[in-house]
Amino acid sequence: MNRIGMLSFHSCGCCRVSTSRAFHFQFRSSPPSALFLSATSYKFRSAVASIGSGFTGDSDFDGERKLNFSGVRLEEAVDSGIGSGKLRLDNWISSRISGISRARVQSSIKSGLVLVNGRVVDKASFNVKAGDQIRCTIAELQKLRAVPENIPLDIVYEDEHVLVINKPAHMVVHPAPGNTSGTLVNGILHHCNLPNVEFFKEEVLSDTEYSDDELNSYGSMASSCDESHSRLSMASIRPGIVHRLDKGTSGLLVVAKDEHSHLKLSEQFKQRTIKRVYVSLTAGVPTPVAGRVEVPVGRDLNNRLRMTAVTGPVNSRKARHAASRYKVIEILAGGSCSLVEWKLETGRTHQIRAHAKYLGVPLVGDEVYGGTKNMVLSLLRPRTPISLHGKIVQLVSRLGRPCLHALTLGFQHPHTGEQVHFSCEPPADFDEILSQLRRIGSERVSLSKRSNL
């Protein structure tokens, strides 16, 4: 039986895979170009980039500039067709340059390269109106490099189209400035026999409606050091990272190995048809023991490393709609902690962590949101014998991350159409704390006490 007692299936080893019908799984490595677009696709993207409406650029742009849009200029008046409604500046520019990502446009705006009626506007959220004269130059891309690294990957499932990985805690999904080594992308490059890649900093994270921790419009990458890929060296290519998990979060993550799979999986995230269940240990027991949290999440004005649930005016914090469903599975150590299952309706940055904090039950081990060892100890003291506190506090101190795990993942296979489902139990550090709390006391929460989720 599944160790944490949450799912009614028997699993073999750590991970379990199921499908709606019989499905033959093949575990094999992909060919060298599997994660990237074909050369034909690049030609198509180049054509789109060079003929998109609103372009006023030099006719002798080389291939790389056509594809990464650097230096492309746009001079145009906002059409009266927008009426009296509001339209964000970044959205309008994106609509006028075919194929460009919103992240590239936002980077250019923040760099002071966009003028509205002759004045620099550096806010992407600025509302344009009919008749406004817009001048925009697309900023140069800052390149970062990722190299293949022989990093062990816990591969739950692989075929020629998708890769499902059990990401360990403390591993970053993709390279970023100051952290270009030891990431999941580095390991995937090695696993799939891919060369070094250069990717563009501005497009690692896209601030679109669905490009947050749970969906990644992971931007442009360019092949850089393998002669067999030289014909693609100028091209912008999209790797298979479809969604992300925080560095401290362990669990299941799907990687697309071709453009069709990337597109289809991205669509499923946008349509909210991906089935994901997370499990956490919280400091305290939420009230009620099951429910739905629908509170916008925005950047904490006092700590830029932290998000916060915003209950008042949201515009000042650029908060975005966020909704989570939760239910308590077990009440642990006399109510000091609880095992909680989460289902996300949206996928905002730190959404579960921020919503747990909003409920007054931060995740155990989450120093940023208040789930410190001292808070856990303060909850244990009035409820349990002092002799039992030391071990748990020691384990929480050693944890160094929020106790959060992506437990299950289900989606429609992008090529076969099969509904596939994967599950993987929490890692040892999570399980060890759970076991210690259960030794003190455990109460299963009956279905009658929960809301209908």
Take residue 48 and report the two structure tokens written for it. 């789109």
Kindly give the interhelix angle for 89-96 and 102-110, rounded to the nearest 10 degrees.
120
Cβ contact 73:93 at 8 Å: no
Phi, psi of 146 (to 5 degrees): -120, 135
Question: Residue 221 carries which side chain, given as an amino acid letter?
Answer: M
Partner residues linked to 276 by β-bridges: 409
Q: CA 208, 212, 213 angle in degrees (round to 5)? A: 170
Cβ contact 111:202 at 8 Å: no
Coil, strand or helix at 62:
coil
**Closest of 21, 445, 33, 446 to residue 231, by C-alpha:** 33
Q: How many CA atoms lie within 13 A of 305 on its CB side?
A: 5
Q: How many CA atoms lie within 13 A of 134 on its CB side?
A: 33
State the Cα–Cα distance between residues 148 and 167, nearest whole angstrom: 17
Cβ contact 275:409 at 8 Å: yes
Partner residues linked to 277 by β-bridges: 408
Count of CB atoms situated within 10 Å of the CB of 407: 24
Q: Enumerate the active-site residues.
A: 246
Cβ contact 52:66 at 8 Å: no
**Closest of 170, 231, 159, 157 to residue 195, by C-alpha:** 231
Q: How many CA atoms lie within 13 A of 96 on its CB side?
A: 24
Place of tokens 């999570």: 430
